[in-house]
Structures are given as structure tokens and as C-alpha cells.
Amino acid sequence: SYLAKKIASIKTAISPALARSRAVVHAMREDEARHGAEATAAGGAELPLPVKRLMHRVAGVMKWVAYHR
């Protein structure tokens, strides 16, 4: 999932000296994987690509608003 990839990129960007931060990101990654498995088991389906792209763009707008308001 997009979030799992984002969390993985954050984890690799954190200095090895920051063990607590790496542990938090690791826990977030495991939680996201578990959430995805539970959603699939409950009948969840992969979203169509246009919906994923729209969600990604909306997230970008939200980030821009948060930094520039």
C-alpha cells in the first residue's frame, strides 16, 4: 500500500543512532500491514487506480494547505 511504502521510506531516512524513532516507525509499519490484512479478510478490495491517484493528489493539497496557510 501507499502508506506502507511511505513508512518504509521514512524508516530508511532515519539515522541508525535514533533507535527509538526507528522502533516507532517499525511499529507503524507492522500496524499498517496488520490493518491491511484485516481489511482484506473482512472483504475489502483494492481501490481502482484513478481513486488512488485522486487520494494522492488530495493528500498533496492538504499538505500544501498545512504548510502555507
pLDDT at residue number 3: 67
pLDDT of 54 reads: 97
pLDDT by 10s per residue, the chain, length 69: 666 677 667 666 667 777 787 788 889 889 988 998 999 999 999 899 999 999 999 999 999 999 998
Q: What is the count of structural domains for the chain?
A: 1
Measured in residues, the chain has a length of 69
What domain range is 7 assigned to? 2-68
State residue 20's pLDDT score. 80
Rg (CA), the chain: 15
Q: At what angle do helices 49-68 and 2-13 cross, to 10 degrees?
A: 50
CB 11 within 8 A of CB 26: yes
